[in-house]
């Protein structure tokens, strides 16, 4: 299967420079089309400003600006220059702005503070923070003195591009110029500190602000609380929020933190606090809680919050509906997800790329990849261009269904449309290639990720290792583990679990124990899958004492067993001949309600009873299993038939078969 390389061709598209010349030399004769008649009336500034403001077409506005400049009917003023520069700024025409500034300089027309703010902001919106700084250093050339307001725009431009090293020298220059920082200045510094994860320094600055006469406002607290929550310091953020609870944005930042940790009780408590404080939760407040509930698959409670939202007079937005649609997909309720999709359309909300991606991902999550492809086609027909998330979801969907052709075609379409693959798309392609045992191609794709400035992550390597182990290529998988560090990736417990599973399946227990030692040496916490994998290995190798010791360690460390664990324990006791202990454990745990025995549990216990106690006890358990509504499978019958042949010398075969078949 041919895959187009994931290179992103970045074409630098430049708008053509604005072709106009302003004649500032009275000795030069203006262009013929711009000549004014001898009796042409002089224009008033108000007329020129009105014409420029009302003209929606940039080219026509420029032609008008040029024609009157090259005539004797009007001499441009600071106000008309500012009006024209503002229009150019809205179109991000940086070359035109620079030219007009140069003309103002030639005509010795000073720039006002507001005009220079427009210029700096235009650089900011264009993502040219460093150029904005260079222009700021030339401010006095244009007859304008630096002010705190202009400084703040420069700082904000640098902040938006994460140029932290430039921010503090500029801040120091404010005082050098005899200016005093104001509240917006401090808020920009707080954002810079928080973006750098320097929360402690930000908190100190928060305390210092009051000492210089600036009480922190909602922006200040929201900035720090949001950053604290992103770093997992939600409880500390809550304590800080107690100082300033009278603003919706502060509550929203805190609710976002609790929702991020799925602490819904606390999130609902904050919602109630807002109402007590007399604050009206906004659409973001409700939508965050709905999104959290939906991600957890609790659609019914999401709908209850939606109803509360309507009662409070707050209308849902596209994000609210997207969250609910996601919730239905997570719960596997595809038809209801589409019902909400249709309701959203009826409400007059136009689907955007986020909603389309939610639907595409949800369909792929539920194995409906062909329907997801149809939605992506509908998306394009409606003028909404699929992005890398759209393609990644489709490729992942094809990978999960082992459809190499579908995944490859989607990959090629993504590249053809100029969309550079992300780590999810690469990892999904690695997955589908491994499912088809194309390990060399999968490995080449991982190496190519580095060249394409999209380095593989731990999930990528886990996917590759899982594919290798599933095919018995354990030695290769171990080598991949050793190579992960070269790519800046650290193995996690999932990485080790995949390797343990692979090693145990091929009875390479010595290597598996080496992996166990490495997990402990690195201080990585075992999870349930780790214990179950090693338990299975011990059991199949006949190392029953070690298996029982590991179960004890597992319980001591507070890891709660699941159905797989209990089945392994029961089988271990049965294999060791301690069937009565297995029966006691079986009865005690199932009676407690923590675990409901399944076909594997019954079959394991049946094997133990038939081999160590007797066939009659086995048949009694079989009847109990059937009464519990659990149907025997092939393995169950194989156990009984084997025991039957072993017992032929002791009991009559006809009577036993009658008992087994229930025909007595």
Phi, psi (deg, nearest 5) at residue 13: -95, 120
Least confident of 21-35, 263-277, 597-611: 21-35
pLDDT tens track for 40-56: 568 888 888 888 888 88
Count other C-beta atoms under 10 Å from residue 266's C-beta: 17
- Ranges 3-12, 106-115, 136-145, 383-392, most confident: 383-392
Least confident of 201-210, 399-408, 415-424: 201-210
pLDDT tens track for 504-526: 989 898 899 899 999 999 999 99
Is the predicted pLDDT of residue 444 greater than 50, yes or no? yes
**Contacts of 291 by beta carbon, 8 Å cutoff, 6+ apart:** 259, 319, 323, 326
Judging by beta carbons within 10 Å of its beta carbon (0-12, 13-18, 19+), is residue 508 exposed, middle or buried? middle
C-alpha distance from residue 478 to each of 429, 433, 528 (Å): 21, 19, 22
What is d(CA 325, CA 303) in angstroms, rounded to the nearest whole number?
11
Confidence of residue 365 (pLDDT cuts 50, 70, 90): very high
- Ranges 89-93, 170-174, 395-399, most confident: 395-399
**Strand, coil or helix: 456:** coil
pLDDT tens track for 287-317: 999 999 998 889 999 999 999 999 999 999 9
Task: Evaluate whether 458 touches 484 at the Cβ level (below 8 Å).
Answer: yes
Which residue intervals of 262-387 are DSSP H helices?
A: 264-276, 283-295, 299-311, 318-330, 334-346, 353-365, 369-381
81: closest CA among 111, 123, 121, 41?
111
Q: What is the separation, in whole angstroms, between the first and last Cα of the chain?
A: 61
Selected residue with higher pLDDT from 589 and 69: 589
- Superfamily of chain region 351-456: Tetratricopeptide repeat domain (1.25.40.10)
pLDDT tens track for 310-319: 999 999 999 9
Question: Candidates 3.90.870.10, 3.30.420.40, 2.60.40.1170, 1.25.40.10; correct CATH number of 561-664?
Answer: 1.25.40.10
Secondary structure letter of residue 484 according to DSSP: G
Q: Which CATH class is domain 483-558?
A: mainly alpha
Mean pLDDT confidence for 622-629: 91
H or E element in which residue 220 lies? helix 218-230
Task: Evaluate whether 503 touches 533 at the Cβ level (below 8 Å).
Answer: no
What is d(CA 25, CA 268) in angstroms, rounded to the nearest whole number?
71
- Report CA torsion sign: 195, 197, 203, 204: negative
Is the predicted pLDDT of residue 24 greater than 60, yes or no? no
Is the predicted pLDDT of residue 6 greater than 60, yes or no? no
* Two structure tokens written together for 628: 């519990």
Task: Evaluate whether 139 touches 128 at the Cβ level (below 8 Å).
Answer: no
**Strand, coil or helix: 422:** coil
Share the mean pLDDT of the chain. 86
C-alpha distance from residue 600 to each of 35, 303, 568, 597, 614 (Å): 97, 39, 9, 8, 19
What is d(CA 268, CA 286) in angstroms, rounded to the nearest whole number?
10
- What is the per-residue pLDDT for 455? 94
C-alpha distance from residue 523 to each of 491, 493, 497, 519 (Å): 12, 10, 15, 6
**Contacts of 476 by beta carbon, 8 Å cutoff, 6+ apart:** 439, 468
Confidence of residue 368 (pLDDT cuts 50, 70, 90): very high
pLDDT above 90 as % of the chain: 47
C-alpha distance from residue 522 to each of 481, 491, 492, 525, 556 (Å): 14, 10, 10, 9, 20
Which of left, alpha, beta for 558 (phi over 0: left; psi -120 to 50: alpha)?
left
What is d(CA 617, CA 609) in angstroms, rounded to the nearest whole number?
6
- Considering the entire predicted model, what is its pTM? 0.72
C-alpha distance from residue 202 to each of 165, 183, 189, 217, 240 (Å): 16, 14, 8, 14, 12
193: closest CA among 180, 183, 181, 203?
203
**What is the 3-state composition of the chain as percent helix, strand, coil, each rounded to the nearest 5?**
70, 0, 30
537: closest CA among 497, 500, 564, 577?
500
* Two structure tokens written together for 514: 């080496």
Domain ranges across the chain: 351-456, 483-558, 561-664
- Following DSSP, what letter does each residue of 498-546 receive, concatenated? HHHHHHHHTT-HHHHHHHHHHHHHTTPPP-HHHHHHHHHHHHHTT-HHH
Mean pLDDT confidence for 549-556: 86
Is the predicted pLDDT of residue 646 greater than 80, yes or no? no
What is d(CA 14, CA 117) in angstroms, rounded to the nearest whole number?
24
Judging by beta carbons within 10 Å of its beta carbon (0-12, 13-18, 19+), is residue 219 exposed, middle or buried? middle
pLDDT tens track for 72-131: 788 888 898 889 888 888 888 888 888 888 888 888 888 888 888 888 888 888 888 888
**Contacts of 282 by beta carbon, 8 Å cutoff, 6+ apart:** 248, 252, 314
Task: Evaluate whether 304 touches 293 at the Cβ level (below 8 Å).
Answer: no
Phi, psi (deg, nearest 5) at residue 188: -65, -40
Count other C-beta atoms under 10 Å from residue 594's C-beta: 12
Same fold, 351-456 and 561-664: yes
* Two structure tokens written together for 293: 């509930």
Secondary structure letter of residue 212 according to DSSP: T
Confidence of residue 28 (pLDDT cuts 50, 70, 90): very low
Is the predicted pLDDT of residue 203 greater than 70, yes or no? yes
Task: Evaluate whether 334 touches 302 at the Cβ level (below 8 Å).
Answer: no
- What is the per-residue pLDDT for 659? 42
Judging by beta carbons within 10 Å of its beta carbon (0-12, 13-18, 19+), is residue 620 exposed, middle or buried? middle
Least confident of 243-247, 292-296, 560-564, 637-641: 243-247
Count other C-beta atoms under 10 Å from residue 5's C-beta: 10
Mean pLDDT confidence for 135-145: 85
Task: Evaluate whether 123 touches 135 at the Cβ level (below 8 Å).
Answer: yes
What is d(CA 222, CA 229) in angstroms, rounded to the nearest whole number?
11
What is d(CA 283, CA 169) in angstroms, rounded to the nearest whole number?
40
- What is the per-residue pLDDT for 41? 67
- What is the per-residue pLDDT for 13? 34
């Amino acid at each position: 299967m041919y895959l187009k390389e994931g290179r992103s061709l970045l074409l630098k598209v430049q708008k053509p420079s604005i072709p106009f010349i302003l004649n500032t030399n009275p000795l030069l004769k203006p262009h013929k089309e711009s000549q004014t008649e001898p009796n042409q009336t002089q224009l008033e500034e108000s007329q020129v400003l009105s014409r420029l403001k009302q003209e929606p077409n940039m080219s026509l506005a420029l032609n008008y600006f040029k024609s009157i400049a090259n005539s004797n009917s009007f001499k441009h003023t600071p106000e008309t220059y500012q009006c024209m520069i503002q229009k150019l700024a809205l179109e991000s025409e940086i070359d035109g702005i620079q030219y007009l500034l140069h003309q103002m300089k030639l005509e010795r027309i000073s720039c006002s503070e507001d005009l220079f703010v427009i210029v700096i902001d235009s650089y900011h919106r264009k993502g040219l923070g460093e150029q904005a700084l260079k222009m700021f250093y030339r401010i006095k050339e244009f007859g304008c003195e630096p002010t705190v307001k202009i400084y703040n725009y420069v700082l904000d431009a640098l902040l938006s591009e994460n140029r932290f090293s430039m921010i503090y020298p500029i801040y120091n220059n404010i005082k050098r110029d005899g200016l005093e920082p104001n509240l917006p200045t401090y808020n920009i510094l707080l954002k810079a500190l928080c973006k750098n994860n320097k929360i402690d320094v930000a908190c100190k600055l928060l305390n210092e602000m009051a000492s210089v006469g600036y009480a922190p406002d909602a922006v200040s607290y929201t900035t720090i609380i949001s950053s604290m929550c992103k770093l997992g310091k939600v409880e500390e953020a809550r304590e800080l929020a107690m100082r300033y609870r009278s603003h919706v944005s502060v509550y929203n930042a805190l609710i976002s933190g609790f929702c991020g940790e799925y602490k819904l009780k606390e999130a609902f408590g904050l919602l109630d606090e807002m109402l007590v404080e007399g604050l009206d939760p906004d659409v973001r407040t409700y939508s965050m809680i709905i999104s959290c509930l939906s991600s957890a698959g609790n659609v019914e409670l999401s709908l209850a919050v939606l109803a509360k939202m309507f009662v409070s007079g707050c209308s849902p937005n596209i994000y609210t509906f997207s969250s609910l649609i996601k919730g239905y997909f997570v719960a596997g309720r595809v038809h209801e997800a589409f019902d909400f999709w249709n309701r959203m359309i009826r409400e007059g909300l136009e689907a955007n790329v986020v909603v389309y991606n939610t639907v595409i991902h949800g369909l792929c999550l539920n194995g409906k990849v062909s329907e997801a492809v149809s939605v992506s086609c509908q998306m394009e027909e409606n003028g909404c261009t699929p992005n890398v998330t759209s393609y990644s979801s489709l490729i992942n969907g094809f990978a999960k269904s082992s459809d190499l052709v579908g995944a490859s075609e989607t990959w090629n379409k993504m590249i053809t449309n100029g969309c550079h693959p992300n780590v999810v798309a690469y990892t999904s392609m690695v997955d589908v290639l491994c499912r088809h045992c194309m390990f060399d191609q999968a490995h080449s794709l991982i190496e190519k990720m580095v060249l394409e400035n999209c380095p593989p992550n731990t999930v990528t390597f886990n996917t590759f290792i899982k594919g290798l182990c599933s095919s018995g290529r354990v030695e290769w998988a171990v080598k991949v583990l050793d190579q992960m560090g070269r790519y800046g990736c650290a193995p996690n417990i999932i990485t080790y679990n995949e390797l343990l599973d692979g090693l145990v399946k091929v009875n390479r227990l010595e290597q598996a124990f080496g992996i166990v030692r490495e997990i402990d040496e690195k201080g990585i916490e075992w999870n349930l899958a780790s214990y179950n994998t090693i338990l299975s290995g011990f059991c199949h190798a006949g190392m029953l004492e070690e298996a029982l010791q590991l179960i004890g360690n597992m319980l001591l460390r507070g890891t709660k067993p699941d159905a797989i664990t209990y089945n392994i324990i029961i089988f271990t006791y049965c294999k060791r001949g301690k069937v009565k202990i297995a029966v006691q454990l079986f009865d005690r745990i199932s009676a407690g309600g923590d675990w409901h025995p399944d076909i594997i549990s019954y079959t394991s216990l049946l094997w133990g009873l038939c081999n160590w106690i007797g066939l009659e006890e086995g048949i009694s358990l079989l009847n109990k299993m059937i009464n519990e509504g659990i149907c025997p499978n092939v393995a169950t019958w194989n156990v009984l038939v084997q025991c039957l042949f072993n017992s032929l010398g002791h009991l009559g075969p006809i009577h036993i078969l009658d008992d087994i078949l229930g025909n007595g």
